[in-house]
């Protein structure tokens, strides 16, 4: 195994690209942390926060739901690569907007982690289940939904009241 020359390994990085404030609007980012001197330490992808990552068409594994955080060096290529691979559709829509529309794009959005759809896979509640549920009576429908999502089986309508009164 070769050893690195001490002069090579002890050198600081050649470039520390600082964060450009204009990139917040241009790439859909938000500054999350600054150090004591006011230098940006961490930046978050707003697309990850509000929309989550899009599933890849040919991916064998499910995409992570973690939000993307950037640390120095802040290079536009990193933002572009992430946005095109993880948020292709929303990124294309965002790029077509004017700067005023971009500044209002994320306002009023609900965080992806607070949306019910982020906690359940789309395929788990298929259309065949939905069609079957449409044919059930109101209580049977509720009973099936409760069992599907909570694992608790209702025996009679009064069970529902006792379930929520505790």
Q: Express each pLDDT in 106-124 by its tens digit.
A: 988 877 766 655 555 554 4
pLDDT at 73 over 60: yes
Is 43 inside a domain boundary?
Answer: yes
Is 7 inside a domain boundary?
Answer: no
Report the domain count for the chain.
Answer: 2
| Domain identity same for 21 and 102 | yes
Cβ–Cβ under 8 Å, residues 153 and 146: yes
| Domain identity same for 103 and 28 | yes
Range of the domain at 161: 123-165
| Domain identity same for 106 and 135 | no
Is 4 inside a domain boundary?
Answer: no
Q: Residue 158 — pLDDT band, cuts 50, 70, 90?
A: low
| Domain identity same for 86 and 29 | yes
Q: Residue 59 — pLDDT band, cuts 50, 70, 90?
A: confident
Q: What are phi and psi of 33, to 5 degrees?
A: -150, 145
Is 44 inside a domain boundary?
Answer: yes
92: which 2 tokens? 């294309």
Last residue of a domain, one of 68, 83, 111: 111
| Domain identity same for 98 and 30 | yes
| Domain identity same for 80 and 17 | yes
**pTM, to two decimals:** 0.61
Is 21 inside a domain boundary?
Answer: yes
pLDDT digits (tens, 9 = 90+) for 87-105: 999 999 999 999 999 999 9
| Upper half-sphere CA count for residue 126 (Cβ side, 13 Å) | 4
Top mean pLDDT of 60-64, 72-76, 116-120, 132-136 is at: 72-76
């Amino acid at each position: 195994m070769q050893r690195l020359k001490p002069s090579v390994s002890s050198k600081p990085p050649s470039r520390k690209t600082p964060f450009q404030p204009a990139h917040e609007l241009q790439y859909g980012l938000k500054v999350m942390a600054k150090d004591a001197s006011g230098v940006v330490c961490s930046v978050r992808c707003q697309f990850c926060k509000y929309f989550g990552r899009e599933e890849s068409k040919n991916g064998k594994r499910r995409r992570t739901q973690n939000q993307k955080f950037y640390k120095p060096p802040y290079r536009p290529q990193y933002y572009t690569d992430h946005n095109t691979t993880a948020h292709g559709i929303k990124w294309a829509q965002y790029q077509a907007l004017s700067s005023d529309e971009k500044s209002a794009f994320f306002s009023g959005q609900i965080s992806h982690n607070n949306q019910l759809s982020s906690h359940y896979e789309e395929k788990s509640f298929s259309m065949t289940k939905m069609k079957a549920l449409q044919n059930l009576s109101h209580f049977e429908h509720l009973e099936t939904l409760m069992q599907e999502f909570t694992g608790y089986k209702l025996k009679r309508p009064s069970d529902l009241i006792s379930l929520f009164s505790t």
